[in-house]
Amino acid sequence: MLFPSQVSAINIAELIGAKILGNKDAFAKGINEIHKVEVGDICFVDHPKYYDKCLNSAATFIIINTTEVTIPTGKTLLVVDEPFEAYLTIVNYYRPFTPQQTAINTNAIIGEGTVIMPNVFIGNKVKIGKNCIIHPNVSILDYTEIGNNVIIQSGTVIGGDAFYYNTKKTRDVWYKKMQSCGNVILEDFVEIGANCTIDRGVTASTIIGKGTKMDNMIHIGHDVVIGKNCLIAAQVGIAGATILEDGVTLWGQVGVNKTITIGANAVVMGQSGVTASLEGGKTYMGYPAEDATIKRRELVWIKRIPTLWKKIME
């Protein structure tokens, strides 16, 4: 999430009650979680296991709960007792939840020739391009950006909160919601079927690339990036922060694990489970999904097992 303008280290420290170590003159451009962090961003870490990863990331500011670390050159540490709570304070300050009383927010930007059907909800700071068709009962939530010539079928929700929680088993409630402050971007000529759900990024963007077509009842998790001209059939589920490169085809009921990459022009057959990254330009099937030519040979040999066993026992 980008701030409206750059914010000084001193102002951030005052907001969250932090002690500043390192570069006290730096300015923050936004806040991001570790998978999406960029130079100029604030990131938080609250477990020793991840201190080094965060300190050596692109982040300029690190909210942390210890002073017993080496501060990389040029970085700013913001030391607090509860870094996660500090993260929530920043997000809620710069992107607070604002209840909406109208179906279409007055600040929404809707392009020429776009058709908005009855019972559509359009939230805060939404941008919709030209010549789109938004069918009945679609919800387009805050900060979503939609390109030109996009079609969204009935019942779909764009921009719901990420399924993303901070876990501490020392709390009475183990899983505490990590406030989502990212958005969803649908590029030109995207088509989304009925009753799909596309979650916003935790702090960055969930992106559906130009020309991609999606069937009904598909779920796309937070921070997923789908390339251009992909084809996704019904009941597919894609977990958070996964990348589909251009031209990928996922047939019905494929399940895709988090934080992996499926290479360009790969095809995954129906009901397969993708548990690890896949090379592009091949066809895959099964669980775990593997090269379809190898998987088919395995199935042939499995069918032969009873005959082979019988011969052994004779």
Residues assigned a catalytic role: 222
Q: Return the percentage of the chain with pLDDT > 70, whole number.
A: 100
The superfamily (CATH) of domain 2-94 is MurE/MurF, N-terminal domain (3.40.1390.10)
- What distance in Å separates the CA atoms of residue 44 and residue 151, rounded to the nearest whole number? 38
* Dihedral-angle region of residue 144 (phi above 0 means left; psi in -120 to 50 means alpha; beta otherwise): beta
Torsion of CA 58, 59, 62, 66, to 10 degrees: 0
Q: Provide the pLDDT for residue 313.
A: 80
Average pLDDT of the residues in 124-151: 98
- What distance in Å separates the CA atoms of residue 63 and residue 44, rounded to the nearest whole number? 4
Residue type, 6: Q
Where exactly are the structural domains of the chain?
2-94, 109-293
- What distance in Å separates the CA atoms of residue 40 and residue 74, rounded to the nearest whole number? 11
Architecture of domain 109-293: 3 Solenoid (2.160)
pLDDT in tens, 278-298: 999 999 999 999 999 999 998
Q: Provide the pLDDT for residue 269.
A: 98
Q: Provide the pLDDT for residue 314.
A: 72
Q: Provide the pLDDT for residue 161.
A: 97
| pLDDT band with cut points at 50, 70 and 90 for residue 7 | very high
Q: Provide the pLDDT for residue 78.
A: 97
Is pLDDT above 90 for 301?
Answer: no
For 80-130, where are the E strands, in sequence order? 109-110, 115-116, 121-122, 127-128
Structure token pair of residue 38:
């960029």
Q: Provide the pLDDT for residue 48.
A: 92
Matching fold, domains 2-94 and 109-293: no
Q: In the predicted model, what is the mean pLDDT of the chain?
A: 95
Helix axes 83-94, 9-16, angle to 10 degrees: 110
Q: Is the peptide bond before 4 cis (omega within 30 degrees of 0)?
A: no
176 φ/ψ angles, rounded to the nearest 5 degrees: -110, 130
Q: Provide the pLDDT for residue 171.
A: 85
Residue type, 51: Y
More confident residue, 312 or 283: 283
| pLDDT band with cut points at 50, 70 and 90 for residue 65 | very high
- What distance in Å separates the CA atoms of residue 28 and residue 89, rounded to the nearest whole number? 15
